[in-house]
């Protein structure tokens, strides 16, 4: 759901990934995920790493799409450490 101008103005500076310009609001989990996806797109003003650090600082591990976690699939279906999950093993 879109945030109204009045609601956006009432948010504290700590609710934004870029507090000086008040861009990329991260006050809720949904807006934090949205900020990450917008920063990951090309031709946007935000840097993904900056927004990811702000989201991680505010929400910790509650936002799953920030960085990689243990057990998450990496490059071409392999897990960290190079082992393929059981359902993708070559026979």
Which pLDDT score is estimated for 43? Answer: 80
Question: Which residues of the chain, if any, have pLDDT below 70?
Answer: 1, 65-91
Q: What is the pLDDT of residue 33?
A: 92
Q: Residue 54: its pLDDT value, please?
A: 92
What residues make up the domain containing 56?
12-88
Q: Is residue 1 part of a domain?
A: no
Please tell me the predicted confidence (pLDDT) of residue 72.
47
Closest among 9, 49, 43, 42 to 25, alpha carbons compared: 9
51: left (phi over 0), alpha (psi -120 to 50) or beta: alpha
State the pLDDT at residue 11: 94
| Total domain count, the chain | 1
Task: Say if 72 falls within a structural domain.
Answer: yes
Q: Which helix (H) or strand (E) holds 7?
A: helix 5-10
pLDDT in tens, 47-72: 888 999 999 999 888 887 665 554 44
């Amino acid at each position: 759901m879109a945030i109204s101008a009045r609601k956006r103005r009432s948010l504290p500076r700590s609710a934004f990934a870029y507090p000086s310009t008040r861009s990329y609001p991260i006050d809720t989990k949904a807006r934090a995920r949205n900020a990450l996806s917008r920063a990951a797109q090309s031709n946007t003003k935000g840097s993904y790493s900056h927004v990811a650090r702000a989201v991680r600082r505010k929400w910790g591990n509650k936002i799953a799409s920030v960085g990689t976690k243990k057990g998450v699939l990496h490059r071409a279906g392999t897990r960290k450490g190079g082992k393929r999950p059981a359902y993708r093993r070559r026979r």
